[in-house]
Amino acid sequence: MAHKWVYAFEEGNADMKNLLGGKGANLAEMTRIGIPVPPGFIVTTEACIAYQKEGQFPEGMWDQVLEYLDALGQKLGRKFADDADPLLVSVRSGARVSMPGMMDTILNLGLTPAGVQTMGEKFGDMRFAWDLYRRLVQMYSKVVLDVPGELFEEVIDDVRKELGVKTDAGITAEGWEKCAVEFKKLVQKHTGSPFPEDPLDQLKLGVEAVFKSWNGKRAVDYRNNFGIPHDWGTAVNVQTMVYGNFADGVSGTGVAFTRNPSTGEKKFYGEYLLNAQGEDVVSGSRTPSNVAHLADEIPPAWQDLMKVAETLEQHYREMQDIEFTIENGKLWMLQTRSGKRTAAAIVKIAVDMVDEGLITKEEAVARVKASDIDQLLHPRFDLDALAKTPVLAHGLNASPGAAVGKVYFDADTAEAKSKEGEDVILVRPLTEPDDVHGMLAAKGILTQEGGATSHAAVVARQLGKPCVAGCGDININLKQRLFTVDNVTVKEGDVISLNGAKGDVYLGEIPVVVPAFDEQTELQAILGWADDVRRLMVWANADDPEQATRARKYGAQGIGLCRTEHMFLGERTQLFQNYILAEDDAAKQAALDKMLPEQRSDFHGIFKAMDGLPVIIRLIDPPLHEFLPSREELMVDVALGKERNQDVSEQERLLHKATELAEYNPMLGLRGVRLGVMMPDVNKMQVRAIIEAACDAAKEGVDVHPEVMIPLTAHVNELKTLQKLLVDEAEAVMAEKGQRVDYKFGTMIEIPRAAITAGEVAELAEFFSYGTNDLTQMTFGISRDDAERHFLLQYVEDGILPVNPFQTIDRDGVGVLMEMGVREGRKTRPDLEVGICGEHGGDPDSIEFCHMIGLNYVSCSPFRVPIARLAAAHAVLRERGFQGVGDLGAKAPAK
C-alpha cells in the first residue's frame, strides 16, 4: 500500500501535530469538534522530510494531493483550475511548533484571469475578483519566484496616485487589474520568464516553496536560536478560500486572542479589517480596528465568534490565538493555537483558569516560565522620574517593560553595537523575520507601523522585550538615520526610553526601579503552588542584612552564601590593607581587632533578618593582592615618581607587598582555605565574629543557625588542619559568652578534586555547597573573564559549546563531578546537606539538574529566588511526566 502523505482535515486531530504540523492539527481538531472551518487537507511533515532528503516530492505524494484536491472540489461542487467556477485554495506552512513569520503563505491559488470574470460575476463584484487575482500574483511572485515585495508596493502606490486615492479601499476593479498586469511585467523583468499561469503548476511550485522555505536561512537561524531540531519538517495546509475581502460591510478578516495577551484580562482581544484578507492584518500594512467593534458592525458574526472562542478555550483549556474570516456575514475559522502572551498575562491567565476550574494548580505552575517571572520582576521606570519626563511619542503598548538604549535603525548595526556592549533600541518602520537578530540584540523595539499582532509585537512578546509598535508619531528617515517627532530630531546613537506597558517613548534616559514583588498577587499564588510542588529548597546569596531581608521577602528559606570579603569593599578596604601590610604580629592583631566589630555587626544583622533559618557564611576567599592597588599602576607610579625626584617610599612599600603577593594565575593561587591554613588568624577572627554575633542574637531571642563555610578545599587534610582550630575558637567564644548556638562547619566544592574525593571531604565537612563558577572554570580549564572576551562567546555562537557553561551547568562534564560529589559525600555522611551557591543556582536548566542529582537547596541572588522556586517545581512536574513545562518545554525534545 502506498504511503499516506496527505490527510483531509476530517482525518486528523490536535494530537497529530508531529505529522500534520500545529496549524494543520488544530484545523483538523476544530473540524472534528464542529467549528466552522473551510475544508481542506494537509500534506504531512513526513513528506517535507522526504523532500529534503530526496530533493523531490516523495513517490505518490503529488497524486494524493490531486486526489484530495478533487475530493475537496466534489464536496464543494467546484473544481480546481476550472475557469467556470474555480475552487480557490490557500497554501500555508505549518510546523510542529509555531515559528511566526518564518514560513510563507499563498492565497487564492486556482484563480486565472478567465476565472476572475466568473468570480466577479458570481459574487457580483469585479473589484473583489481582481483584488483576489492581484493578491495571488503578488504573493506567489514574492514567495515562490523571489521577486522583492517592495516592487509590488511601488506599483500599487503608482496606481493609487493615478487614481488619486489614498488607501487600497479606493482602488477600483480596473486599478487592481492594472496592478495584476504590471505585477506580471515585473515578474518577466525580474525572473526572465513569464508568470506561470497554470494553477496546477502554481500549486505544485507552491507546495515545493513551503518545503524549500524549511531550509531557508531565516528558518534555520530561527531553529538554531530556539533549539528546534532541523529534522522536524513542516506540513503544508491546502484550504478552501473564504473571502474577507468581499462586499464591504459584511466581510472582513481578523486576528484575536480569547483573552488579553498583554494583561491576561478575560476579555476577547484583537483586531480586524473589513474587506481584507488575512495577510492585511498581520502584515501591519493597514491599521486595523478593535475587534469589539464587530459587535456593532456584524452582530451575528460577533455572536458566533464569541461562542467559538468559548468553545475553543473550554476545549483546549488555554487562551487561544485565532484567525477568522467573515465572508458575507458568515464566520469561518482559519486558525487556532495557544496564544503568545506577556509574562503578566501568562501568570494572570493561569491563575484565572485555576479559579475557573479549567486547569489544576500544577498545570498553572507548569505554564509559567522562569523567564516570565524574570520579566515580571524586571526593573521598571521610576514613577517619579517618569512623571517628570514629557512623552515624546505614543504608540501601541505591544510588549511591556522598560528599555533604555541608543537608537539604531537596522538589525545589523543594532547587533554590532550590542556586541560592543551598548544598550540598543532597534527602531524600524516595520520588523520582518530578517530583523530578528537585531531584536534579539536590542533592549527594546520601536516600530512606526503595524499593530498589536504585527511581527514586531508578536516576536517582542515572545522574546520578553519591551516594544512600542505602530508609533505613527514618529517619522523615520532610514537614509539619514534619524527619526523626527514634530520638530524634535532623534539621531542614530541618541538615547531614548521605551515604556512598553504604556506604549510611550521618551527622549533620554529614565532611571529604572525594581517592581514590588509583594503586590503581584497572581504571581504570589503561582509561587505558593510551586512551593507545594517542589522538593528543592531555595536559599539566597546575601552579603548584608538588607540583602538578607529582601531574600526572605522573595521566599528564600536560608542564606546559602554570605561572602565575607564583600564586607571589606569600599571604605573598609583600608582595614584589610592594614592587615596585609602589617609587619609584625602586634600590627596584625591590631588590624584584626578593628575588623572584628565590623564583621560581627554585619553578621548580627543577617542573623536577625533570617531568624529561624540557616545562614551559611563563607570565610574570606579572594587572594590578598585583590585588596591592594594594581601592581602595574604602582610600577608606573614609582618609575614616574623617581624620574620626578618625588618621595615614592609609600608606593614602593605597597609595590613591594603587591609583588610579593603577585600570582600568575590568581584564580588558582593563595586563596580560600589556603589562606586559612597559611594565616589562620583572619579566619579565627571571622569565626569569632560569627559566633559572637550568633550568641548576641540568641540572647536577644533570635533563633540562629550559623554555618561556617570553608572555601576552595582540594584535599580533606586542609579541613583537618584548619577546621579544628576554628571549632576550638567557636567553642571558646561560646564559653566566654555563656551561650551555646547550633553551628555547622562545611566546605565549598568548587575544585574538581574535592568532588572526586568527596567521600573523604565529608568526613569533616558537615555540608557541601557547590561553587559551580569555579568548578566550571577548573573543569573546563577556562578563566571566565578571559574566555568570554577572547573565545567563549564565539564558541557558543559557533555551536562549539551548546550553551555558555557559566550560565547553564554543563551536565556532561561539570555535572558528572557534581553527581559524583553528592553520591560519594552521602556515602560517608548520609544526611550531608548539599547545595549550590554559584550563579547557576538561579538558572532553570541548572536548577532542574540540581533537583535530579538530589541537592537539598539552590542558593541564588535574592532577585532570582522566585524564579528558582518555580524552576524547582518545574523539575518535579517534568519528573512526573508533565509535558511542555516552563522554559525547557520546547527545548526538551531537542536533546
Quick check: 814 binds a copy of itself (CB under 8 A)? yes
Whether the CB-CB separation of 616 and 537 falls below 8 Å is answered with: no
Question: Which one of residues 181, 220, 725, 756 is an interface residue with a copy of itself (CB under 8 A)?
Answer: 756
Does position 798 interact with a copy of itself (CB under 8 A)? The reply is yes
As given in the structure block, the three cell numbers for residue 616 are: 551559611
The CA distances from residue 180 to 139, 241, 281, in Å, are 11, 19, 21
The question of whether 837 is a catalytic residue gets the answer: yes
Binder of a copy of itself out of 196, 227, 629, 666 (CB under 8 A): 666
CB of 341 closer than 8 Å to CB of 264:
yes
Residue type, 684: K
Spatial contact of 704 and 691, defined as CB atoms under 8 Å apart: no
Does 797 contact a copy of itself by CB under 8 A?
Answer: no
Total residues in contact with a copy of itself, by rule CB under 8 A:
58
Q: Which 8-state DSSP code applies to residue 248?
A: B
Cα 559 from Cα 861, distance rounded (Å): 10
In the structure grid, which three cell numbers stand for residue 623, read together? Answer: 587572594
Among 787, 822, 836, 855, binds a copy of itself (CB under 8 A): 787
Task: Name which of 27 and 712 has its Cβ closer to a copy of itself.
Answer: 712
Comparison of 224 and 794: residue with beta carbon closer to a copy of itself: 794
Q: Which stretch binds a copy of itself (CB under 8 A): 11-19, 265-273, 657-665, 857-865?
A: 657-665
Q: How far is the CB of 227 from a copy of itself (least distance, A)?
A: 16
Among the residue ranges 23-31, 197-205, 279-287, 754-762, the one whose residues contact a copy of itself (CB under 8 A): 754-762
Q: Is 352 helix (H, G, I), strand (E, B) or coil?
A: helix
Q: Tell which one of 166, 217, 388, 644 touches a copy of itself (CB under 8 A).
A: 644
- Interacting stretch for a copy of itself, rule CB under 8 A, among 74-82, 167-175, 430-438, 672-680? 672-680
β partners of residue 431: none
Considering only the stretches 52-60, 392-400, 503-511, 640-648, report the one whose residues sit in contact with a copy of itself under the rule CB under 8 A.
640-648
* 812 touching a copy of itself, by CB under 8 A: yes
Block residue for cell numbers 555587626: 601
Of the residues 48, 179, 471, 837, only one is catalytic, namely 837
Identify which of residues 20 and 822 has a Cβ nearer to a copy of itself in the complex: 822
| The binder of a copy of itself chosen from 640, 653, 699, 731 (CB under 8 A) | 640
User: Is residue 721 at the binding interface for a copy of itself, with CB under 8 A as the rule?
Assistant: yes
Cβ distance to a copy of itself smaller for residue 742 or 797: 797
* Residue 723 in contact with a copy of itself, rule: CB under 8 A: no
Distance CA 827, CA 760 (A): 10
List the grid coordinates of 630: 594594581
C-alpha 82 chain-centroid distance: 48
| Window contacting a copy of itself (CB under 8 A); options: 39-47, 67-75, 383-391, 658-666 | 658-666
48, 378, 437, 455: which is the annotated catalytic residue? 455
Over the range 192-223, which residues count as b (16 or more CB within 10 Å of their CB) and which as e?
Answer: eeebbeebbebbbbbbebbbbbbeeebbeebb
- Which residue of 515, 791, 854, 883 would you call a contact of a copy of itself, by CB under 8 A? 791
- Decide if residue 643 touches a copy of itself (CB under 8 A): yes
Cβ-based nearer residue to a copy of itself, 49 or 809:
809
Query: Does 566 qualify as catalytic in the annotation?
Result: no
Binding-site member from 385, 677, 725, 894 for a copy of itself (CB under 8 A): 677
Q: Cα separation of 568 and 576, whole Å?
A: 7
Least distance CB 583 / a copy of itself (angstroms): 19
What is the closest distance, in whole angstroms, from the C-beta atom of residue 671 to a copy of itself in the complex?
Answer: 9
Residues 620-639 that bind a copy of itself (CB under 8 A): 631-632, 635-636, 639
Under rule CB under 8 A, residue 760 binds a copy of itself: yes
Residue range at the interface with a copy of itself (CB under 8 A); choices 289-297, 330-338, 479-487, 752-760: 752-760
Q: What is the DSSP letter of 449?
A: S
With contacts defined by CB under 8 A, name the span among 130-138, 272-280, 325-333, 780-788 that binds a copy of itself: 780-788
**743 near 722, Cβ under 8 Å?**
no
Q: What phi and psi, each to the nearest 5 degrees, are found at residue 797?
A: -65, -40
Of the candidates 716, 542, 525, 507, the one whose C-alpha atom is nearest the C-alpha of residue 617 is 542
How far apart are the C-alpha atoms of 620 and 616, rounded to whole Å? 13
Contact between 803 and a copy of itself per CB under 8 A: no
**779 belongs to the binding site for a copy of itself (CB under 8 A):** yes
Q: How far is the CB of 144 from a copy of itself (least distance, A)?
A: 36
Question: Applying CB under 8 A, does 325 fall inside the site for a copy of itself?
Answer: no
Q: Please, which residues bridge with residue 547 across strands?
A: none
CB of 783 to a copy of itself, least distance (A): 4
Among 669, 680, 884, 889, binds a copy of itself (CB under 8 A): 669
Strand residue runs (E) in 698-856: 705-710, 744-749, 767-770, 833-836
Question: Helix H segments across 12-99?
Answer: 17-32, 45-54, 61-76
What is the DSSP secondary-structure string of 761-807? Answer: HHHH-SEEEE-HHHHHHHHHT--HHHHIIIIIHHHHHTTSSSS-TTT
Which distant-in-sequence residues (6+ apart) come within 8 Å of 539 by Cβ?
A: 551, 556, 557, 558, 559, 560, 614, 616, 835, 837, 857, 858, 859, 860
Q: Which of 102, 116, 817, 873 binds a copy of itself (CB under 8 A)?
A: 817
In this complex, which beta carbon is closest to a copy of itself, that of residue 550 or of residue 588? 588
Q: Which stretch binds a copy of itself (CB under 8 A): 97-105, 321-329, 544-552, 809-817?
A: 809-817
**Nearest distance, CB of residue 168 and a copy of itself, angstroms:** 51
Centroid of chain to Cα 587: 54
Interface residue with a copy of itself among 390, 781, 830, 881 (CB under 8 A) is 781
Beta bridge partners of 468: 397, 446
645 binds a copy of itself (CB under 8 A): no
CB 267 within 8 A of CB 319: no
Q: Is 725 in the site for a copy of itself (CB under 8 A)?
A: no
810 near a copy of itself (CB under 8 A):
yes
* One residue of 794, 797, 879, 880 binding a copy of itself per CB under 8 A: 794
Which burial class, exposed, middle or buried, applies to 593 when counting CB atoms under 10 A from its CB (0-12, 13-18, 19+)? exposed
Which helix H or strand E contains 334, and what residues bound it? strand 330-338
Q: Which residue has the cell 511533515?
A: 45
Residue 813 as a binder of a copy of itself (CB under 8 A): the answer is yes
9 vs 781: CA distance, rounded Å? 55
Residue closer to a copy of itself, measured from CB, 160 or 674: 674
- 586 in helix, strand or coil? helix
Assess contact for 242 and 36: CB atoms under 8 A.
Answer: no
Residue 813: CB minimum distance to a copy of itself, A: 4
Complex with a copy of itself: residue 485 or 803, whichever CB lies closer: 803
In the set 365, 533, 751, 872, which binds a copy of itself (CB under 8 A)? Answer: 751
| Contact stretch for a copy of itself (CB under 8 A) within 79-87, 272-280, 387-395, 776-784 | 776-784
Give the C-alpha distances (Å, rounded to integers) separating 94 from 27, 53, 273, 319.
11, 19, 24, 20
- 355, 663, 700, 879: residue in contact with a copy of itself (rule CB under 8 A): 663
The rounded distance, in Å, linking the Cα atoms of 320 and 341 is 10
Element (H, E) at 581: helix 573-581
Q: Which residues are catalytic?
A: 455, 837
Q: Footprint of a copy of itself on this chain (CB under 8 A)? A: 631-632, 635-636, 639-640, 643-644, 663-670, 674, 677-678, 712, 714-715, 717-718, 720-721, 750-753, 756-757, 760, 774, 777-783, 785-787, 790-791, 794-795, 798-801, 810, 812-814, 816-817
